[in-house]
Amino acid sequence: MIAPERLDLPYTAGVAAATDGLYERVSRTVTPVEWELYAPYVARIEALKAQRQAIVLAHHYQTAEIYRCVADVVGDSLALAQAAAATDAEVIVMCGVHFMAETAKLLSPHKIVLLPDLAAGCSLADSITAHDVRRLRNAHPGAPVVTYVNTSAAVKAESDVCCTSANAVRVVESLGAPKVIFLPDQYLAAYVAAKTSVEIVTWQGHCEVHERFTAQEIRALRAQHEGIVVLAHPECPPDVLASADFVGSTTSMLGYLRETNPRRVAMITECSMAANLVDAFPEIEFSQPCNLCPHMRRITLPKILRALETLSPQIEIDPGIAQPARRAVERMTAIGRDSR
């Protein structure tokens, strides 16, 4: 997919030399014509990373030219934030959405964290506010609040502990409480409730990508592709999860592929994840209904380059919010490090 901005840097012999060998990483998803548009940006970004002592982090839902060609670290949202904290780089470029950049800043408060487009939001994170959390606490006195990492720093700050989709059940049960407020994804909450005896108080939030998948689509896939293995993210509706062969986080899906090496797979999650795995698993045939995240698509090569050139937009978090939000994330990691 060609980015919506004008890609007008020239493709020169110098660019070709600087990016030699990179096209092979994306040749199954990027055409040669597209590559000549992308390559000048890739070359400039790589040069600026060295000058700025910067690293680029890319979520699994980023497009191939970012994920495979300029990213230094790829992963889920929490793993990227943890990688940012572990690196010696002075500048972190988050190729993801706003809450991911905030989480990186929480764990790397003294580093410059850049989000190439501040409008890269998240329907799930936007579904709840700090005020909503306070109202829920008042309605359920004594119930601890477990908040999915896919939330703003302000919402995390009102929470007792964060969780990922991979460790949500473990975090809930670690609290030893008979009732837990679990925010904000209603489908992940239903998934957790089915796996624990703890009473789960939910919120009507959802991911606009995952909520659009249906069990009917999975039945159609199985009818078209005999023996297909269906992997679904727990942010999907319950009927989708019931129809899948495996339910797990993005990192858990990767582990499943490595361990089982199925012949044909449908990944019921954002399209780019499967596209980014084509080269890593050439023996697997990926088939899937495709839902794109419009917010992830806001991050493009020209915007990454501009962020590195201008060292903006920078993510800043009010200290009064950052301290309790960081504590909620750190409490989760103390329980156990798992991925989104």
In a domain, 186, yes or no: yes
Q: Quick one: average pLDDT of 98-117?
A: 97
User: Of 155, 173, 203, which residue is a domain's last?
Assistant: 203
Region of poorest pLDDT, from 23-32, 147-156, 177-186, 198-207 = 23-32
Asked if the model's pLDDT at residue 290 lies above 80, the reply is no
In a domain, 321, yes or no: no
Residues 93 and 32 in one domain: yes
User: Of 203, 234, 267, which residue is a domain's last?
Assistant: 203
Report the CATH number that the domain containing residue 35 is assigned in CATH: 3.40.50.10800
Q: How far apart are CA 250 and CA 60, in angstroms?
A: 8
Amino acid 339: pLDDT: 40
Q: Tokens in use for 216?
A: 């009917």
Residues 149 and 219 in one domain: no
Amino acid 271: pLDDT: 85
Asked if the model's pLDDT at residue 138 lies above 90, the reply is yes
Region of poorest pLDDT, from 135-144, 178-187, 279-288 = 279-288
Strands 285-286 and 161-163: unpaired
In a domain, 316, yes or no: no
Residues 168 and 85 in one domain: no
Residues 112 and 191 in one domain: no
SS (H, E, C) 291-335: ECCCCHHHCCHHHHHHHHHHCCCECCCCHHHHHHHHHHHHHHHHH
In a domain, 108, yes or no: yes
Q: How far apart are CA 283 and CA 262, in angstroms?
A: 9
- Who contacts 213 (Cβ-Cβ below 8 Å, separation ≥6)? 232, 236, 237, 240, 268, 289, 291
Asked if the model's pLDDT at residue 61 lies above 80, the reply is yes
In a domain, 104, yes or no: yes
Asked if the model's pLDDT at residue 184 lies above 50, the reply is yes
SS3 call for 63: coil
pTM tops 0.85, yes or no: yes
Residues 19 and 110 in one domain: yes
State what percent of residues in the chain have pLDDT above 90: 85
Q: How far apart are CA 188 and CA 235, in angstroms?
A: 5
Instruction: Assign 3-state DSSP to the chain and report helix, strand, coil percentages, each to 5.
Output: 45, 15, 40
Residue type (1 letter), 63 = T
Look-up of token digits 């990688």: 83
- Who contacts 8 (Cβ-Cβ below 8 Å, separation ≥6)? none
Edge-first strand order for the sheet with 112-114 is 73-75, 54-59, 91-95, 112-114
Amino acid 43: pLDDT: 97
Contact 285, 266 (CB under 8 A): no
Residue 186: alpha-carbon gap to chain centroid: 18
Residues 117 and 31 in one domain: yes
Asked if the model's pLDDT at residue 340 lies above 70, the reply is no
* pLDDT tens-digit map of 236-279: 999 999 999 999 988 899 999 999 999 999 999 998 888 888 87
Residues 197 and 214 in one domain: no
Amino acid 336: pLDDT: 60
Residues 17 and 117 in one domain: yes
User: Of 150, 169, 203, which residue is a domain's last?
Assistant: 203
Amino acid 194: pLDDT: 95
Residues 245 and 214 in one domain: yes
Residues 98 and 195 in one domain: no
In a domain, 332, yes or no: no
Q: How far is CA 179 from CA 41, 77, 196, 309, in A?
A: 51, 27, 11, 49
Range of the domain at 79: 13-121+296-310
Split into its structural domains, the chain has a count of 3
Residues 109 and 21 in one domain: yes
Sign of CA dihedral 200, 204, 208, 212: positive
Asked if the model's pLDDT at residue 311 lies above 50, the reply is yes
Residue type (1 letter), 273 = M
State what percent of residues in the chain have pLDDT above 70: 97
Q: Tokens in use for 220?
A: 């159609």
In a domain, 274, yes or no: yes
Residues 20 and 50 in one domain: yes
In a domain, 113, yes or no: yes
